[in-house]
Structure 1
Amino acid sequence: GRREQTHRAVFRFIPRHPDELELDVDDPVLVEAEEDDFWFRGFNMRTGERGVFPAFYAHAVPG
């Protein structure tokens, strides 16, 4: 299936743990799952990396 952007990063996120996903402002993100406690699991379409990040670091883009 197609891999389409669902969210846009609005803040820079620096990972502190190996499973976290680095984000830079305006990165296109494909959110794949909602984890507990307001974290998303997703794919950074700019870097090709996958991981978790706080949900408020990314805003949904119009679908």
Structure 2
Amino acid sequence: TESFGLFSCLVNGEEKEQTHRAVFRFIPRHPDELELDVDDPVLVEAEEDDFWFRGFNMRTGERGVFPAFYAHAVPG
């Protein structure tokens, strides 16, 4: 079985926990998109239209949008 530790970090002065884990690498093509590497811990902040999430990459500290199917929810 696979086991992944959950991440937490401060976002705007509040401690937030990881909600998703990247399962594919995503290379941004537009300035508002968020780069993801496999296994990156992600905090999804909102669901956008057309199956996109707006979120925060807890590894890089960057924020942006990415396709929803590139990250899976983690049990929490």
What residue ranges of structure 1 are gaps of 5+ in the alignment?
Answer: none
Match of 2:30 in 1: 17
Instruction: Note the alpha carbon deviations across 1:5-63, whole angstroms, 9 max, x for none.
Output: 00000000000000000000000000000000000000000000000000000000001
Structure 1 distance, partners of 2:16, 2:42, is 10
Please, what is the CA RMSD of the aligned residues? 0.3
Decide which structure has greater strand share.
2
Counting only pairs closer than 5 Å after superposition, residues 21-60 of structure 1 correspond to structure 2 as 21-60=34-73
Q: How many residues align?
A: 62
Identity %: 97
Larger RCO: Structure 1 or Structure 2 (Cα < 8 Å, ≥ 6 residues apart)?
1
Cα distance in structure 2, aligned partners of 1:3 and 1:52: 18
In 2, the alpha carbon distance for the partners of 1:41 and 1:62 equals 19
Q: TM-score, normalised by structure 1?
A: 0.97
TM-score of the aligned structures, taking structure 2 as reference length: 0.81
- Kindly name which structure, 1 or 2, has the bigger radius of gyration based on alpha carbons: 2
